[in-house]
Amino acid sequence: MDCRHVSGPRGEGRLVLADGAVVEILFTNRALAEAETLIGKSVLRLADTARSNDLGMGDVAKLLYVGMAASQRDSGVGGLRIAMKDAWDVLDKVGFQRVAIVVMEALAVVLSYGTEEPAPEAAPDAPPDPPQRRAKN
């Protein structure tokens, strides 16, 4: 099965480094499950922690790593696999605040998937209203 064609929750983000290089991140349900295992916390707990401004440097680095690895896997591009060291390098180059914002926005897309209001369905064609009679004077 080609995962690049699967619909569903996809939270994507981009970080641009000073040298112009672009780091892509991707969160899907699978990636978030991997993050939970790596970090040892549920993603809902991580989101609550982020809302209260208590998200730690290590958690952000691990989320970045998972997002970078998922993006690489999804792209189908070969090469060296993303390592935790790569995430720390990006974090050092871009800074905690920018990385945390991009990571948490991408994570929020996945967590909020399916909560949008569905588009209203068109009502079936109803018969036209009968013409109104004029009252006699």
Over range 3-7, report the average pLDDT.
Answer: 54
Confidence of residue 128 (pLDDT cuts 50, 70, 90): low
Structural domain harbouring 90: 26-111
In a domain, 9, yes or no: no
Scored b (16 or more CB within 10 A) or e, 37-59 reads: eebeeebeebbeebeeeebeeeb
User: Distance between CA 100 and CA 116 in Å, rounded?
Assistant: 24
- Mean model confidence pLDDT for the chain: 84
Selected residue with higher pLDDT from 131 and 40: 40
User: Distance between CA 113 and CA 135 in Å, rounded?
Assistant: 55
> Quick one: which of 69, 38, 56 has its CA closest to 100?
56
Record the tokens describing residue 24, joined without a space. 């892509």
Residue 1 has pLDDT above 50, yes or no: no
In a domain, 98, yes or no: yes
Element (H, E) at 15: strand 11-16
61 and 102 Cβ atoms separated by less than 8 Å: no
In a domain, 7, yes or no: no
- Say how many domains are in the chain: 1
For 16-54, the pLDDT digits (tens) are 999 999 999 999 999 999 999 999 999 888 888 888 888
Phi, psi of 110 (to 5 degrees): -70, -45
In a domain, 137, yes or no: no
In a domain, 12, yes or no: no
Residue 127 has pLDDT above 70, yes or no: no
Over range 60-87, report the average pLDDT.
Answer: 92
Per-residue model confidence (pLDDT) at position 76: 83
Per-residue model confidence (pLDDT) at position 10: 92
> What percent of the chain lies above the pLDDT cut of 70?
79
For 109-124, the pLDDT digits (tens) are 998 887 766 555 655 5
In a domain, 100, yes or no: yes
In a domain, 18, yes or no: no
36 and 120 Cβ atoms separated by less than 8 Å: no
In a domain, 128, yes or no: no
